[in-house]
Structure 1
């Protein structure tokens, strides 16, 4: 994997973008934006020591949005030839002519566009021959089986290598883009026999292969987690403190981002509507957005509309400081874009002094959640109810695994009763946090 493996160079993508913008201008568009991208990858999965899948991918695409004053049209194509670009522009214009005017439609505000585009070190090609990828996957799976004789089956170990490049341009004169990579190693195995079987997994993801967990370590974690779940029980229904393990704790941040995002806010479908400047979390909670972290999995110098990203405090001492807005939703709310068209960038929940073992002591007697099932979250009311599995803790020590339970509460109360945030951060995506301890929730079982 290297620069020459892309089907189009950076300059070729820029030329395609210029061509689309010029075609739109000549055909009467009052404004236009275009994104053109290419990518390729290799994914190998080994199961029970044999190669199960070997996949090569090569993608390309163009999306063009045109405006006829306040009427908007969008079209896309996976063909980057000039004729296909022409047809996409014409299709977008045809759609715009039949679309109702929307006073909030339009490009991003010109003064918010990125002028200086820093290098965030996002491109780390991995020249991994397929034979080496297979060996890595085998090493990963073998390490899982070596944990314990109870690890008897596997859903596979996967090694994925991905690279992409894009250019975004608009008729305000903005043009920018860069290449990026994302690689991963994962493993899922099954422990036990017959009805007593338990499945668990582990994975590592990074921009650079040198930042990935070793393949053997990924497999070992998967095996250990599967074995630890053997003998899982149900629990009688009760109220208890709940500790969300770091990998699932990030889902709480996802619910927060969804509730604080422009689309749900202007539709009045969020429990955080009109809550700017108010306490919505416990005072110990600090959440920052850091879009310029080097090698960050969600780092970006500008958002999907070319708006410059910047560091900011989203929650300070529990108080909501800002929403997540693109240009359209910002206008609907009478605000300005926060550089979040397309989502958040490296959202960091500050951890406290406790590691996972320390959090277990702080939990005392209660539930550790390591897996969540279902999607029982109502962003309008904040009501929260999801299937879960994990461990029951007594006296600060794990007593036994549990399964087939439901945890329920309300996100408004859950956020306000966060008792501790751990320093056991697992970095896998756009939201980074340690384990989160909540003072009380309803745990429903038998």
Structure 2
């Protein structure tokens, strides 16, 4: 049965079981993963399956049930159990489907290019890619092991439907290659990685480039020492700078705002980034994994400025949290088959700077270039920030040696308002964020 028909069958079963309203999600997917170790096949995995999710509403009560069996008997039982659960659930005055006039009715899936028309790659092709990445990493002088080299492919079809009249779906593909290299021996071992994931195989970086980069990155981390304790400028490498913007997006999430558990709760209309910087969400970028024509509640997605010229303009909202806050949904609802909708962001891009990362390194004097982070102590209510880090030490504007086992501390409100962006963001990512320099952070080292 087609996913569209399965979704409708779940809705019919829900109404027959006594639901006042319902929405349904059907997902069918295939994934293949090939791991290479020592130039030989280490592991091969293939999975195919279907997942079905049903949310039923009875008055202001709701419940979710998910299954992986599409038989009519299972769908009927699924609906009956969901209705029984909803009757026992607590009331929530804010839940409910979109009004019929709110739902998306016209979109252009083809323009988003979410699915590569090329056939699924043969496993031998994936094996060759993984082996090529591993060989390239080993070719880097000083690499002693390759922990993993993986090539994979996935194809997914999604269909959403609701009793308010919405029905829509799309297909996605993904092709990926990754490599983790280890340099040094004994207690001097260091590791790093590189990888790429694209919707279209033709856009993917070469396995040789990925393996070489993983090896070179691991070599650069050898002979690391702890940096001195003190206040220094910190440059967040483009690979991990997105985490800073991720904290901003999490704080602007409507669910956190509605709970009063966000350090941004009183900052609407205020400066949260330096003047001249904007954070733009665009769900219509072609060939990008987080692009989509509608959200999980059937609302038409749209381009918007989360931050405009440094000023926070609004929250990220689904229907329920928008109702709690007396606002309108921003069409940012996401959900899985086993959960109700919740707000999230799609593609975002931070305004890039006018200088290169090398220029920022030259001008920062003495400080830390962060290339990896571990652990996290983030106070969501106050914005207090503390994370373990490793990277490269900068002296007089030049990289001198690797550092590790240090902690970076500050306050997100101050950090974000004083950051300086480079111009090195990768524009094919869902989150386009360049390297970010933050002055005067506290480093705890030796």
Would you say same fold, with TM above 0.5? yes
Matches of 2:397 and 2:182 in 1, distance apart?
28
Residue 180 of structure 1 pairs with residue 178 of structure 2: no
CA separation in 1, counterparts of 2:397 and 2:228?
A: 20
- Residues 90-169 of structure 1: pairs in structure 2 closer than 5 A: 90-119=80-109, 120-124=112-116, 125-148=118-141, 150-169=142-161
Q: For residue 127 of structure 1, report the CA deviation from its aligned partner.
A: 2.7
Among 40, 47, 53, which residue is 2:30 paired with? 40
Q: What per-residue deviation string (whole Å, max 9, x for no partner) do you get for residues 192-236 of structure 1?
A: 111111100001111111111111000010000000111111012
Q: Does the 8 Å CA contact 1:250/1:431 hold for their aligned counterparts?
A: yes
Aligned residues: 434
Q: Over residues 156-182 of structure 1, what are the superposed CA-to-partner deviations in whole Å (9 max), with x where a residue is unaligned?
A: 110010110011000110000010012
Match of 2:291 in 1: 299
Q: CA deviation at 1:429?
A: 5.1
How far off is 1:108 after superposition?
2.5
Find the counterpart in structure 2 of residue 353 from structure 1.
354
Distance in 2, matches of 1:145 and 1:355, equals 30
Provide, for residues 65-123 of structure 1, a one-character-per-residue CA deviation record: whole Å limited to 9, x for no partner.
11111111111101112111111111110111111221101112433321212221100
Distance 1:87 1:394 in 2: 67
SS of residue in 2 equivalent to 1:104: coil
Q: What is aligned with 1:370? A: 371
Cα shift at 1:427: 5.5
SS of the residue 1:173 aligns to: coil
**Partner-residue secondary structure (3-state), 1:275:** coil
Instruction: Identify the residue that residue 328 of structure 2 maps to in structure 1.
Output: 336
8 Å contact kept, 1:126–1:209: no
Separation in 2, partners of 1:145, 1:21: 54
The alpha-carbon deviation at position 296 of structure 1 amounts to 1.1
Q: Is 1:34–1:170's contact at 8 Å kept on the other side of the alignment?
A: yes
Would you say the 8 A contact 1:424–1:434 is kept in 2?
A: yes
- The whole-number CA distance in structure 2 between the counterparts of 1:388 and 1:284 is 29
The TM-score, its normalising length taken from structure 2, stands at 0.95
Structure 2 gaps of 5+ residues are: 335-343
Change (3 A) 1:53 1:428: farther
- Aligned pairs (5 A) from 1:237-252: 237-252=229-244
1 CA distance for matches of 2:130 and 2:427?
21
**Alpha-carbon distance between aligned partners in 2 of 1:109 and 1:376, rounded to the nearest angstrom:** 40
Tell me by how many angstroms 1:428 deviates: 7.2
Partner of 1:20: 10
Task: Provide closer, same or farther for how the CA distance between residues 211 and 194 of structure 1 changes in structure 2, counting only shifts above 3 A.
Answer: same
Structure 2 residue 178 is matched with structure 1 residue 170: no
Can you list the C-alpha shifts for 1:278-329, whole angstroms capped at 9, x where unaligned?
Answer: 1111213210001000111210111111111100111011100121111111
8 Å CA contact 1:147–1:220 kept in 2: the answer is yes
Q: RMSD across aligned C-alpha pairs, in angstroms?
A: 1.3
Query: How many Å separate the matches in 2 of 1:426 and 1:444?
Result: 31
Report the secondary structure of 2:25's partner residue.
strand
2:193 maps to 1:201: yes
Which residue is 2:71 aligned to?
A: 81
Aligned residues of 2:115 and 2:173 also touching (Cα < 8 A) = yes
**Which residue, 176, 185, 190 being the options, matches 2:182?**
190
Q: SS of the counterpart of 1:200?
A: strand
Task: Write the distance in 2 (CA, Å) between the matches of 1:383 and 1:353.
Answer: 29
Aligned mate of 2:218, from 220, 223, 226: 226
Match of 1:325 in 2: 317
Q: How far off its partner does 1:432 sit?
A: 1.7
Counterparts of 2:365 and 2:69 in 1: how far apart (Å)?
A: 59
**Corresponding position of 2:340:** none
Greater displacement, 272-281 / 156-165: 272-281
Which sections of structure 1, spanning at least 5 residues, go unmatched? Answer: 1-7
C-alpha distance in 2, partners of 1:63/1:40? 18
TM-score when normalising by structure 1: 0.95
Distance 1:402 1:428, change over 3 A: farther
Partner residue, 1:416: 417
Structure 1 partner of 2:444? 444
Cα distance in 1 for residues equivalent to 2:425 and 2:202: 18
**Contact 1:204–1:428, Cα closer than 8 Å, also in 2:** no
Partner of 1:311: 303
